[in-house]
Structure 1
């Protein structure tokens, strides 16, 4: 107990009732501002009903599961009995703890679950009871979905995803009165944290024009071109879809074959050129590569009809032609990241079908070409949901970047949503500046025609690896891509699962080096050698089962970057004097990072 002038103070007690009352009045005032920020755009007809369709899908899916259990009373009673048995064990354990005995826990958090790190979750009987009751209930609900009979696997996958989202939202760690750390902080500050949090909430709702736009970092701490994306270079080519950046050399000699990167258009390219210490492009330049990268435009309604084929022709192929003009090299090394890699694979397969050679090697970073095991993103992809997205895109010509950003955040809501809700709006603390999360929030739109083709042809119908994708009059076959391929998967990837990347890599027709990096879709890729973080695994050409491949793979400490450099050197023996932007037929248009990457949604 804390000592006060009046004597010892019990834990979780109001310290100063008058100060607490004043802050509750201020909280109500700030809450009114938050409400006004919500209602204002709606009264003016400016608010958008975002995620209404997604909520309807969740209710429809969960209702379907509930109907299956209601239709079988015996199984429903058995399931309910199992839950009550768990509660009884928990109550017995709690009584033992209250009596000073060491009761056996009825449920324990998963390893790495940071929500229940405060000692009070274990030591205080009430909070321990809340924690274990929550874990028992959510695991019971997940098991209920898993054991539901007579539903298709897609419905089961969706239901399990929605149950997890509800469980994550209802965690006792997300509420002041049920989180000992939050309750302690609230009482010690006389509620000042809640006042600050409500003010931040009102600001974020106003910024989202009536919808909550959760800030994950301090947006004032970064600026593209000032402290992000500052590797020296020039924009040497542009059209409606792309700007092409050529980086300035840092070595006297460079590899004869230049390197062209195709980043995803769903996000901005500078994830590969964050701060100088984290920039893959700067590191590649220092290793002697003449590096070019595509910087995609942030599209609006004027580009609604730009198709997947347009992105191939006006994006990748146009960039290859521009690289040839800049360097005189018809053959280049190419790389693609995420969906940029999918587009690159399509382009290489199209070139192979035409009998054209334009690439010496291909590097694919967390790239899916087979979508059989595409993970939780498939929750959002079925005929009904795609049709709803297409209807929305038809109204404005594109899908807003915030929609995809939220979908990606939901894949890891316990890391990318709820910790920021707690930190920002309950603790009242503004988030720290973090370059990666600044980039994550710097979303891009997707033109309607392109995105519809991608969702249908890749996620829904998986046409590329089944020989059914037709682009530019050519039926594509990945096995015709016979150049050396370096494929990187990341072990904890929620967007391009490692198993999915592994299965897809089997379809290429040439020599394959398959590597698995530690961490996830971003941190596993952006892992400079100097940081000495994570690890990577190497093994034989991918075949058979992914888990068996991983069991036999060799683990290496640190970054995969030097492994890639050693691999690509085998196919690049000739060195030439360094090339500077503007040396060839293309003259600089403007300094890197250019205008396109700075366009906001």
Structure 2
């Protein structure tokens, strides 16, 4: 590229930095602090320096090193520019095109702010910037041209790089998806919103509080580094059994792997066939019992169902040899215990996410053994059995990632914080950097949000099971290959399953994508009802009717694909829960009195402890 035409495209960022730095210095220069403010700034600087030295700086390092929160943004820009120049798919023509587009963008924005080439012009009352992003929604990003240039240039840069991934040659689609995923996370991390001196909202807050926001942020950063997990909410506001996981019930059965909770009836009569819910053991079961207004468990009990939930134990060294077979055996054990306890021939079984995947294997085992009638119906919440289109989690199943997981597994189990970080990375802008800005940089108080509390209440995973699951299902996709896998000594063939099935998927689910969940409909041999819910992996499931949120789609005709399903579907406002309970009623209408062991802990009924039990509190 001809340097006389403006240099490389990266020069645009150097100019951007220069203008931003000059503007920041001008703001600081016109803010004359009084004596008290000077003292407060001095105290703030001392606190930050001490915290940084105490927590991070080795003894031999220069103790006068600046606190990174106040680092010159040139360091950030230098890293950004170096990374940009090393991108293998940015040839000279691409750099020239991006340079030209950047210049046009700058000229347009500066003109809107009344800054012409001759230094004069008429500013628009309300600039119309070409790109929007909620990270830059605060008016401060538009009030000064320098910050408009910063975030608009970043968004242009990000858009063009993401587009270029689709044009990279010599790689397959899986590698392209991995590159796209990695690029998105790098770009999220490089956003100017994440750095104090390139974020006008943080600068304003710092000036207003004399740096107290950054002191608070450093304290939180140090605490999170100590615990090895990003804080999302004020967990002190939640207590198991009081304001979360508080639906009344008893633990009626226990093994080293799980506790079985039976909930107390809320109606005089209940459906004869009980319901057992198998939640994923990657998180705590109470996602389905967050609080009385959101609780699927409480709602189901109020509909006249006898509800059981499995509470899985968080793995420790005693579970080093636990495999997938143990979870299949546990599901069969829970089904058999309920049948014996209530004297019923069958149960309605629900499996959520990975527990739904395992439930499919359990049903195949029962079918092969001639015991399929133990389960009257099965419901799958966002569960996959065919992992061909399993979404972005497939980026973590190549040999390098599997080796890292094995290395991270100490004592025979994988620390749940690893999985939490992985899921956060899938939505880094929302689940990582948004919290860095709000709580580390702005110093805002953490919200008291039960869903975020649950999300951070991690569970450990048996390492043998976890590695085999990623390898056999996500990587090799063996579950849909008849008899390629076995459980408890029985080969698994999902095509043997004739149990009536209700399959729920989330339209915006990034963990179990809807087109992946859809494949269940073409795998099972029995009657299937598929429902697509609005929202994603959690909110798409936890959507009580009273909330009147989202929507769901049904299609009474047979469809060959998810696209065909949607083309002929009917949209319904609100929660799919009402559709599910109506479907369940079509299978069995018999009702019985809610007496005897239908009321756990009654006269003559020996139980272990009150719900939610001990296992849910184990770390």
1:30 aligned residue:
48
Q: How does 1:250-269 map to 2 (within 5 A)?
A: 250-269=266-285
Does residue 114 of structure 1 match 2:138?
Answer: no
Shift of 1:23: 2.5
Does the 8 A contact of 2:44 with 2:210 survive in 1?
no
Aligned partner (choices 100, 103, 108) of residue 93 of structure 1: 108
Does the 8 A contact of 1:273 with 1:279 survive in 2?
yes
Does the 8 A contact of 1:490 with 1:516 survive in 2?
yes
Aligned partner (choices 179, 183, 198) of residue 163 of structure 1: 183
1:327 aligned residue:
342
Distance in 2 between residues matched to 1:252 and 1:185, nearest whole Å: 58
Distance in 1 between residues matched to 2:604 and 2:519, nearest whole Å: 41
Does the 8 A contact of 1:490 with 1:519 survive in 2?
yes
Q: Deviation string for 1:207-244 (max 9, x for gaps)? A: x2xx4x32100011001122110111000100110000
Shift of 1:191: 2.2
1:224 aligned residue:
240
Distance in 2 between residues matched to 1:24 and 1:520, nearest whole Å: 47
2:153 aligned residue:
133
Alpha carbons of 1:40 and 1:76: their partners in 2 closer, same or farther (altered >3 Å)?
A: closer
Aligned partner (choices 198, 217, 224) of residue 197 of structure 1: 217
Does the 8 A contact of 1:14 with 1:188 survive in 2?
no
- Supply the RMSD in Å over aligned alpha carbons: 2.5
Does residue 352 of structure 1 match 2:367?
Answer: yes
Does residue 286 of structure 1 match 2:302?
Answer: yes
Does the 8 A contact of 1:306 with 1:450 survive in 2?
yes
Does the 8 A contact of 1:105 with 1:132 survive in 2?
no
Does residue 597 of structure 1 match 2:616?
Answer: yes
2:64 aligned residue:
none
Does the 8 A contact of 1:325 with 1:585 survive in 2?
no
Does residue 524 of structure 1 match 2:524?
Answer: no
Distance in 1 between residues matched to 2:568 and 2:122, nearest whole Å: 48
Instruction: Tell me the SS of whatever aligns to 2:472.
Output: helix
Does the 8 A contact of 2:386 with 2:520 survive in 1?
yes
List alignment gaps of at least 5 residues for structure 2.
1-25, 62-81, 116-120
Normalised TM-score (structure 2) = 0.85
Does the 8 A contact of 1:68 with 1:149 survive in 2?
no
Shift of 1:441: 0.3
1:469 aligned residue:
485
Shift of 1:471: 2.1
1:56 aligned residue:
none
Does residue 410 of structure 1 match 2:422?
Answer: no
Shift of 1:119: 2.0
1:588 aligned residue:
607
Which one is further off, 577-586 or 473-482? Answer: 577-586
Residue-pair matches, total:
558
Does residue 366 of structure 1 match 2:382?
Answer: yes
Alpha carbons of 1:190 and 1:582: their partners in 2 closer, same or farther (altered >3 Å)?
A: closer
Q: How does 1:380-395 map to 2 (within 5 A)?
A: 380-393=396-409, 395=410
Shift of 1:81: 1.8
Q: Deviation string for 1:15-61 (max 9, x for gaps)? A: 626415633542442343245334699x9xxxxxxxxxxxxxxxxxx
Shift of 1:582: 4.3
List alignment gaps of at least 5 residues for structure 1.
1-9, 44-61, 70-74
Distance in 2 between residues matched to 1:67 and 1:437, nearest whole Å: 36
Distance in 1 between residues matched to 2:416 and 2:163, nearest whole Å: 34
1:419 aligned residue:
434
Shift of 1:305: 0.6
Alpha carbons of 1:192 and 1:14: their partners in 2 closer, same or farther (altered >3 Å)?
A: farther
Distance in 1 between residues matched to 2:401 and 2:56, nearest whole Å: 27
Does the 8 A contact of 1:325 with 1:584 survive in 2?
no
Instruction: Tell me the SS of whatever aligns to 1:417.
Output: helix
2:9 aligned residue:
none
Instruction: Tell me the SS of whatever aligns to 2:336.
Output: helix
Aligned partner (choices 113, 120, 144) of residue 124 of structure 1: 144
2:31 aligned residue:
14
Instruction: Tell me the SS of whatever aligns to 1:489.
Output: strand
Does the 8 A contact of 1:34 with 1:201 survive in 2?
no
Q: Deviation string for 1:102-143 (max 9, x for gaps)? A: 69978412xxx3211112323421111111110111122212
Aligned partner (choices 569, 573, 595) of residue 557 of structure 1: 573
Instruction: Tell me the SS of whatever aligns to 1:360.
Output: strand
Alpha carbons of 1:551 and 1:500: their partners in 2 closer, same or farther (altered >3 Å)?
A: same
Which one is further off, 269-278 or 136-145? Answer: 136-145
Does residue 295 of structure 1 match 2:301?
Answer: no
Larger Rg: 2
Normalised TM-score (structure 1) = 0.88
Distance in 1 between residues matched to 2:149 and 2:87, nearest whole Å: 31
Q: Deviation string for 1:509-548 (max 9, x for gaps)? A: 1111111111111111111111111111111466433234
Instruction: Tell me the SS of whatever aligns to 1:260.
Output: strand
Instruction: Tell me the SS of whatever aligns to 1:564.
Output: helix
Does the 8 A contact of 1:536 with 1:555 survive in 2?
yes
Shift of 1:372: 1.0
Q: Deviation string for 1:174-200 (max 9, x for gaps)? A: 222222222222222232222222222
Does the 8 A contact of 1:420 with 1:431 survive in 2?
no
Shift of 1:67: 8.0
Shift of 1:327: 0.6
